[in-house]
């Protein structure tokens, strides 16, 4: 099997040139580490619907969709015109004060997510999970958090732990070791995080009971990476345990929110977390995040009306008064207008169903294709997200992925980049309402060509 790939035929020469230029002024030439892949990321110039167009004029069917954010595809006319019209009508880009759409969106989220009584906005998913954790620490008076191995919640100290640990360091499967994923994470921060094994209720229970007096919250992606579902008894058990042990349960639905169901994974599982972090789809392609949850917890962030952190009168609010949460751009009106239009679009009769049907059709056709070449393969996922796993073994957690043929998968993904299918190698597939039958057909053909080239 040839593991070629260097874009050496010169078809991505402009991309390579721009990337080399970027490397002089931006560390690694990339503004988000996860967007790097070798030999170099592809520099895009335009996009429309399901397609990306690079600076060399090549077209790609996009299954990354900005890591899931663009559920209606690129540049949906209704979303662009909603944002433009709203900006025109309010006469500014941002008020820097309360405004009506903050209430409209909060009400929408409360209607869609039964666990949400109140909402606060952020500018990213990272900030949403970060604030959820601060609320949990304040609410419980405990300092540590539990997170599951393989789960991603953003790039800050407490949760940038054991997202992608290697087999040699990760410890026993039922007692995973906390491995930092970055230089610069202070030891004392690392010791605040207890790593848990996903979909293993017995081991999780043992660890939670051991640390119950220290744990403020357990945070998890109810569907790991958007594609490995929690087993229902596992989630039910986790909800019971966290209730019993006075540990808050935080669902990170930054990826799954609106993508597996309008009401997120929690409405499929019928589990009520204490707090929920949202992002991605919620902003219609603009930067966004939101935290929602129980009123008694959310209300901890209600400001002390007498004073605040920035008072110059020496009466700044005491740390026992209030959970601080702020942000210059929180509740950005243009972002919320794009997000609301996105939700309106998804709420229309049959839209989600069609999106899921298309996703299932692509999955079934891919599975049939790989089977016809005798390549052990399954697709795993829910709603509009899935992953291709080159193994027929049951995949229940991060470690199970070690046993898949990830080398072949990566080689196929690199060939696909050459064949006009865009996905960061080894990443998940996200579908949009813009993808059509022709995209699916071309994607299947591209996979077949990639397989033939490699085998
Ligand atoms: C589950 C999950 N949580 C949090 C984040 C962080 O969101 P953001 O990149 O908007 O900060 C991501 C981003 O990929 C995510 O997938």
* CA 97 – CA 334 distance, rounded (Å): 13
Q: Is 152 a catalytic residue?
A: yes
Output the pLDDT for position 7: 74
The secondary structure element, H or E, covering residue 308 is none
Q: Which of 101, 128, 124, 67 is nearest to 276 (CA)?
A: 128
For residue 97, what are the contacts with CB-CB under 8 A and spacing of at least 6? none
Tokens found for residue 31: 């503004």
From the CA of 91, how far away is ligand 1's center (Å)?
A: 31
From the CA of 192, how far away is ligand 1's center (Å)?
A: 20
Tokens found for residue 434: 């813009």
Task: Give the CB-side neighbour count of residue 377, counting CA atoms within 13 A.
Answer: 23
* CA 139 – CA 322 distance, rounded (Å): 11
SS3 346: helix
* Atom in ligand 1 nearest the alpha carbon of residue 126: 11
From the CA of 11, how far away is ligand 1's center (Å)?
A: 32
Residue whose Cα lies nearest atom 3 of ligand 1: it is 153
Tokens found for residue 28: 């690694």
Could you tell me if 260 and 385 are in contact, meaning their C-beta atoms sit under 8 angstroms apart?
yes
What's the average pLDDT block by block, 10 residues per block, for the chain (455 residues)?
A: 60 93 96 92 97 97 98 98 98 97 98 97 98 98 98 97 95 96 94 97 98 98 98 98 98 98 98 98 98 98 76 64 94 98 98 98 98 98 98 97 96 96 97 98 98 95
pTM above 0.85, yes or no: yes
SS3 43: coil
Tokens found for residue 55: 């600076």
Q: What share of the chain is helix, strand, coil (3-state, %, to 5)?
A: 40, 15, 45
* CA 163 – CA 127 distance, rounded (Å): 18
From the CA of 348, how far away is ligand 1's center (Å)?
A: 26
| Active-site hit among 54, 62, 200, 252 | 252
- Characterize the bridge pairing of strands 51-54 and 44-48: antiparallel
| Active-site hit among 121, 152, 269, 370 | 152
Burial code (b: 16+ CB inside 10 Å, e: under 16) for 43-69 equals bbeebebbbbbbbbebebbbbbbebbb
Contact residues of ligand 1, CB 6 A cut-off: 67, 124-126, 129, 152-154, 221, 252, 254-255, 279, 289
Output the pLDDT for position 3: 46
Residue whose Cα lies nearest atom 16 of ligand 1: it is 255
* CA 289 – CA 277 distance, rounded (Å): 7
Q: Is 54 a catalytic residue?
A: no
Rg (CA), the chain: 22
From the CA of 112, how far away is ligand 1's center (Å)?
A: 20
* CA 164 – CA 180 distance, rounded (Å): 9
For residue 85, the tally of other CB atoms under 10 A from its CB is 12
* Atom in ligand 1 nearest the alpha carbon of residue 253: 1
Residue whose Cα lies nearest atom 9 of ligand 1: it is 125
From the CA of 425, how far away is ligand 1's center (Å)?
A: 18
Q: Is 86 a catalytic residue?
A: no
Output the pLDDT for position 306: 66
Choosing from 121, 130, 154, 339 the residue with most ligand 1 atoms within 8 A of its CB, the one to mutate for a pocket test is 154
Could you tell me if 343 and 258 are in contact, meaning their C-beta atoms sit under 8 angstroms apart?
yes
* Atom in ligand 1 nearest the alpha carbon of residue 124: 10
């Amino acid at each position: 099997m040839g593991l070629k790939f260097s874009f050496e035929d010169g078809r991505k020469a402009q991309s390579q040139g721009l990337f080399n230029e970027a490397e002089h002024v931006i560390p690694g030439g990339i503004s988000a580490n996860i967007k790097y892949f070798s030999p170099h990321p592809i520099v895009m110039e335009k996009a429309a619907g399901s397609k990306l167009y690079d600076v060399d004029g090549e077209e790609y069917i996009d299954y990354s969709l900005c890591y899931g954010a663009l559920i209606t595809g690129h540049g949906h006319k209704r979303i662009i015109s909603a944002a433009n019209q709203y900006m025109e009508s309010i006469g500014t880009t941002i008020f820097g004060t309360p405004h009506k759409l903050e209430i409209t969106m909060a009400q929408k989220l409360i209607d869609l997510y039964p666990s949400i009584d109140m909402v606060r906005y952020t500018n990213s998913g990272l900030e949403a999970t970060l604030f959820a954790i601060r609320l949990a620490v304040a609410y419980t008076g405990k300092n540590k958090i539990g997170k599951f191995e393989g789960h991603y919640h953003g790039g800050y100290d407490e949760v940038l732990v054991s997202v992608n640990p290697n087999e040699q360091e990760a410890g026993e499967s039922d007692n995973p070791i906390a491995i930092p994923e970055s230089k610069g994470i202070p030891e004392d921060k690392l010791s605040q995080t207890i790593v848990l094994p996903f979909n293993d209720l017995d081991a999780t229970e043992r660890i939670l009971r051991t640390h119950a007096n220290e744990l403020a919250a357990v945070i998890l992606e109810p569907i790991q990476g958007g594609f490995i579902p929690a087993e229902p008894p596992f989630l039910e058990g986790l909800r019971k345990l966290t209730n019993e042990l006075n540990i808050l349960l935080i669902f990170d639905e930054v990826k799954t929110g609106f993508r597996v169901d309008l009401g997120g994974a929690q409405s499929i599982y019928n589990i009520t977390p204490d707090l929920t972090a949202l992002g991605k789809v919620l902003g219609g392609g603009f930067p966004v995040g939101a935290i929602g949850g129980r009123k008694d917890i959310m209300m901890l962030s209600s400001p002390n009306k007498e004073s605040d952190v920035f008072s110059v009168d020496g009466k700044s609010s005491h740390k026992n008064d209030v959970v601080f949460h702020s942000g210059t751009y929180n509740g950005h009106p243009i972002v919320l207008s794009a997000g609301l239009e996105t939700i309106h679009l998804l709420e229309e009769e049959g839209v989600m169903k069609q999106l899921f049907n298309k996703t299932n059709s692509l999955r079934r056709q891919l599975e049939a294709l790989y089977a016809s070449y005798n390549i052990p393969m399954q697709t795993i996922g829910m709603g509009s997200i899935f992953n291709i796993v080159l193994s027929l073994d049951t995949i229940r957690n991060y470690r199970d992925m070690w046993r898949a043929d990830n080398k072949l998968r990566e080689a196929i993904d690199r060939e696909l980049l050459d064949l006009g299918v865009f996905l960061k190698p080894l990443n998940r597939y996200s579908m949009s309402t813009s993808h059509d039958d022709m995209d699916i057909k071309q994607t299947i053909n591209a996979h077949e060509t990639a397989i033939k080239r490699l085998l």
